[in-house]
Structure 1
């Protein structure tokens, strides 16, 4: 068995959409198709209308599919109507499939509790090795074969839209199953074709990390995390002392959050907000709220703690925390890359010798498996995965070099998560790739600037060579 459709139910979003909720069973390990299975969840949507004249679809024609691959790793999809680009895609004549990738959303959700059913830490780590992009795209192919089973043979390919990590999955798809694809749209999602995360973090942390990587040059470094910190402190210079005060308070006091402990390092992780439009202002609001609590009460109130907790979320997205560095690994272990590089830079530590304490980005750190109660249960599992070096290849550069599937990629010069230099280098290695490059959109452009992004991608699609 490769995949089986278990259940399918339809309902309407008034005046807008025809929604189908689907459940599938797929193998945990595709090399063992008769073994343990996973339950996957997806929603499909199409326009709900009653035309005056019969359309091709009402005559029995088939709408082409576009599959949305969510960012992450470890995040499920929202409701279809919550995505601002949906109307644009539907207007182009697609029906859209929103797939909760394995282990996320309603697709056999990974938590410390569900993992415990696998046995000890070694068995849990072995199980989690099946939750990377290679198996996500195998799931996609298995589902495609089901949903297009009654399509004409020449119409069974589908399109994919990959945001962030979803774009990484799309390039894996192009490497392993290009025959299943009509076209690929990528937004902030051209992956670095590296064997591990070290070169990635060297590009995003700052110049001091270059002592570790002799093949990288400081004059090419754009220091995205540091740039965003500097932009934050330039806009809110009063926050330099506020942040130092907060970090000292957290260092001297044990502060509990609903999901664990608010350590200085965990507060720094709010820097992940810098990758989004409005993130600088959101972090400033949090800093002001914390300092206001300390001024008035001398401790942090529940609303403040809830706000901080709500902007973390690692405990609710286990895969993001535990497999984040492995999404870069091909035949090499990560060895807690972000931890090692952070320790090289005093700007990320609590010290009076630096003019300002910097926030970190979207990296995952070893101390997260102490400050989050849920992650603490998986500390041994995380250590096993961080030292694993037998990760299979995710990308086939030879296949990408002869790729025939049209690829349309939105690439952001100011992207703090997917570095522009590395993304552009990858684009040059994928034949039939067209890029829309911009310097005024951040990583969440598909949501924050969806109209511009979709318009530009389809301009690339509909353009001709002159």
Structure 2
């Protein structure tokens, strides 16, 4: 199967939304494994969003407007719903949204843990980019050759994918925009998490500086969770470690206040009733769980791997950072961030089970979650792979001719500023917009200002 025939458009339907928006819902079949395209296929889903111009033709073959494809963050994040945009393709990356989604049950269809892990190997940026190229060739098949390139907007992990795109298939690109998404050019996650731990410590200090009374409140909450078994509706367990994972919000605009609101809700429950109410438990479950994000939980460390295994890097590095000792830290209770969210955090806790007290080792998400608990063996296999293919071609990036416009956040907790600036220096024709007034979710929280700044980089000239 040639690259031109790699994707097949299966269906297209049109819907008109308020505000003169015309949305096409598209389904494609693409190879699961591009090295063996005849073996199996995946269904990809995307929405093409077009601003309707009164009196203008609406036939694709006549209009042939330029495409821009949006790549969501994650890994494992589906595209958002259509917004007030001009002409953009909102692609659910493989395994997300309506694109052959991955759950414990759908993975089980692949066979045993080894086969499931082999299946997940095919859901990194290199294959996401191959999907994009296959879809691009289908959508621009009737375009003149000089107009078949498209633009890419990559948020967070979507930006990582965009840099892989620049490395592997630059001829398909007209221009690239990234927001909080210039990847570290490393071969394993260890150095990334070392800097991430430092950044998360800074955000914890900022939190307790803003809400100093919360340190005592958090201690009381953790003591309650240590002495009581709190189960979620699905049977998962609210452990102290899972509660501290609320710190993943610290890297977003408004994240400190969001966590503070949850702390207040927990404290109010304990003061009033002596236990957590159902709405409080549900809130914590939704803000700390990864049951609906299998790819994020299992593949997060693998997105940094090139020829080396991850071997649960964040867990291995944890002893170097005593600030994250949870309830047993006499110097303060530090929340964890995404570098701990997908690891096996092993801390002995006394938990009453069936009216007895056992010393039990919690392995965080994969122990406190019913869904992820089914995939512990799969996750271990993925963490052991040492033959991950290269995602970035440094030489190609150094001679890159595709214009790149990148928003980089000084206070980014997830994509460290130092790595982002190093990568920007490697990519030829990369123009960065650097700010310390936005956080990692700037594309959502300050979208108008951010897009204006990126377009200014593209359209303005400096003598």
Answer yes or no: same fold by TM over 0.5. yes
Alignment match, 1:12: 16
Deviation at residue 246 of structure 1 after TM alignment: 1.1
Matched, 1:250 2:220: no
Q: 1:324 aligns with which of 287, 296, 300?
A: 300
Alignment match, 1:71: 73
Q: Please give the secondary structure, in 1, of the residue aligned with 2:225.
A: helix
Deviation at residue 353 of structure 1 after TM alignment: 4.9
Matched, 1:449 2:446: yes
Q: 1:229 aligns with which of 195, 204, 214?
A: 204
Question: 1-side partners of 2:113 and 2:278: how far apart?
Answer: 34
| Alignment map for 1:177-196 (pairs within 5 Å) | 177-196=169-188
Question: 2-side partners of 1:239 and 1:465: how far apart?
Answer: 48
Question: 2-side partners of 1:339 and 1:442: how far apart?
Answer: 26
Deviation at residue 338 of structure 1 after TM alignment: 1.1
Question: 2-side partners of 1:133 and 1:172: how far apart?
Answer: 7
**1:348-382 deviations in Å (ceiling 9; x for gaps):** 11355533110011122122111111000000000
Matched, 1:312 2:288: yes
Alignment match, 1:129: 121
Alignment match, 1:120: 112
Alignment match, 1:167: 159
Deviation at residue 49 of structure 1 after TM alignment: 2.8
Q: Which runs of 4+ in 1 moved over 3 A?
A: 54-59, 350-353
TM-score by length of 1: 0.92
Question: 1-side partners of 2:199 and 2:81: how far apart?
Answer: 32
Question: 1-side partners of 2:287 and 2:95: how far apart?
Answer: 21
Alignment match, 1:401: 398
CA-based RMSD of the aligned residues comes to: 1.4
User: How many residues align structurally?
Assistant: 437
| Alignment map for 1:363-402 (pairs within 5 Å) | 363=339, 364-366=342-344, 367=363, 368-402=365-399
- Cα pair 1:57 1:63 within 8 Å, conserved: no
Alignment match, 2:44: 40
Question: 2-side partners of 1:58 and 1:360: how far apart?
Answer: 48
- Segments of 5+ residues of structure 1 without an aligned counterpart are 206-222
- Cα pair 2:244 2:326 within 8 Å, conserved: no
TM-score by length of 2: 0.92
Question: 2-side partners of 1:59 and 1:286: how far apart?
Answer: 52
Q: Please give the secondary structure, in 2, of the residue aligned with 1:391.
A: coil
Question: 1-side partners of 2:441 and 2:12: how far apart?
Answer: 31
Q: Please give the secondary structure, in 1, of the residue aligned with 2:379.
A: helix
Q: Please give the secondary structure, in 2, of the residue aligned with 1:428.
A: helix
Question: 1-side partners of 2:401 and 2:289: how far apart?
Answer: 39
